[in-house]
Amino acid sequence: MERLTALAEFFADNGQAEFLRFWANAPLRNPEFWRTFWESLWTRDAQMSFLSYTFWVFLAICAAAYYLCPRIIKPVWLLACSYAFYLYDRHGTALVFILITATAVTWLCGLGMGLSQNRPLRLCLLWLAVLGCAGTLIYFKYSRFFAGLVGLEFTAQLPAVLGLSYFIFQSLGYVIDVYQGVVPAERNPLYYALYVSFFPCIVSGPIERADHLLPQLRAPRGFSYRRVTGGAFRMLWGLFKKLVIAGNLDVFTRAVFTDMPAYGGGVLALAALAFSYQLYMDFSGYCDLALGAGQVLGYDLLENFDRPFAGRSYTQLWDRWHISLTGWFRDYLFTPLSFVNRGLSGVPGKLQGWFNIFIIFPISGLWHGASMGYVVWGAFNGLFMVVGKATAKARRKLAKKNPLYRVKFLKAVIQCSIVYLLFTFCIVFFAASFFGGDAADGWYLLAHLTAAGGPALAELPALLDISTLTLYTMAGGIVLVEVFEFFGRPHEVIRKLWFPVRWVLYYALLIAILLTANFGASGFVYGQF
């Protein structure tokens, strides 16, 4: 009964509890049942979360009609579905003009650059697109933050624009690629509009590239049972990571980060370590859902994670974490900076290069949110990256003399642990801002890691009302995810398993979700960025 209550509360967040109550009493042949069903799908009290049954019904209808309609109609249908997905959000109807305007401006600027060989004109069009997109992003996300920095009071209540950071970055990347000649200008506004608004990745990424997604949109694939079932499994895999692992870790980390004085240093340290892994499971789980949905529709989206905590250096970690965003900053910020201020040699040249590396991370922190906690998080990440680059040769020499590094497995464990601890040091500032605090809360946690008091670790499950079954399932799930993804991508690895083993895994994941998932943690961390 408790699980049914949790399910009802979960769907109530999307305005669909009335439909659940009606479901139990109305036969399928009753017209009233179907009327209530369709009304529940379009309640629009919240955005169409990938965790809601509304999205799964929406995706099923979208995919079925997509494979049945003629090839020439497929992009039109997908564009209509993408805008329907966007308009489902309660702010979508009022703010869809921002998406349309960004799409129109960047398409026209790209088209103008593609048709003209006049360098000053092309540069003017580039800056028109860049300033227009950047101005929109700054106004809606950072007006209050920058006003506060200069001591001004910003009283306007600006709504959160769904997917703003993602479709702005995707549009800007396209315009810059056209200017640099990386891709030709897209002359068909239909394909370009679909590229900007493609619903599996508009909310939280991955941030697609024009040379990767646009060719697929121009040449849609036919139905493939193997590809569709692989995508469906990857979506199930993402649900498991989000609801069973990240969702239950959220119960613990949220309790600690929202009331840090109530806990001792051991619990604070464990919460920081747990949030690092929670963030990874939450965002990579979302990406599994997004990539799985794209695969169901016949499209391969960019991979966004590659087991980042298996990285043995800080550089390796960031090469594997949020790959599409890291690549975006590398190609459109780091590379231009390196080109503009190149030329110095010796120590000044090294300092210049290290500055180019460092500055990306505070900007990335600001992209995550208008809070000093995110900026401090980015600054420490940038500092660790620079220190890692500057000491790389010295550390390699010392590693040869370290007796512990003679055992390859032990060396890997030590290096990965150090990287994880450095990442966790930074993440306390991210977590502090995410849970409603600021950078000062991150400093508080670090300053009280040795503090006594508060409940003991053994008392936490009972205090937080986490069952033994949930703890064991979550722990087993972490092992399952790490072992499974060690061998490759989920939708590829599953095909290598013996048929009965595959189906046992399918049902085991479903049962684990139904029995132990935290349906209250219904939002995705990166959905707010």
| Other beta carbons within 10 Å of 402 | 12
The token duo for 334 is 């780091």
Helical residues (DSSP H) of 297-407, grouped into ranges: 314-320, 323-329, 335-340, 346-368, 372-390, 392-401
Contact partners, residue 243, CB within 8 Å, separation at least 6: 51, 513, 517, 518, 519, 521
Backbone dihedral region for residue 401 (phi beyond 0: left; psi -120 to 50: alpha; all else: beta): alpha
**Is residue 368 annotated as a catalytic residue, yes or no?**
yes
Residue 445 near residue 377, CB atoms below 8 Å: no
Phi then psi for 175, rounded to 5 degrees? -60, -45
Residue 183 near residue 215, CB atoms below 8 Å: no
Q: Give the Å distances, CA to CA, from 81 to 36, 121, 171, 297, 373.
A: 22, 36, 19, 12, 37
Catalytic residue among 91, 212, 368, 491: 368
Q: Give the Å distances, CA to CA, from 219 to 100, 154, 178, 202, 222.
A: 24, 47, 20, 21, 10
The helix/strand/coil state of 220 is coil
The token duo for 296 is 């169901």
Torsion of CA 243, 246, 248, 249, to 10 degrees: 180
* Angle, CA of 259, 262 and 263, to the nearest 5°: 105
Contact partners, residue 32, CB within 8 Å, separation at least 6: 26
CA distance 49 to 524: 9
Residue 279 near residue 521, CB atoms below 8 Å: no
Cite the active site residues: 368
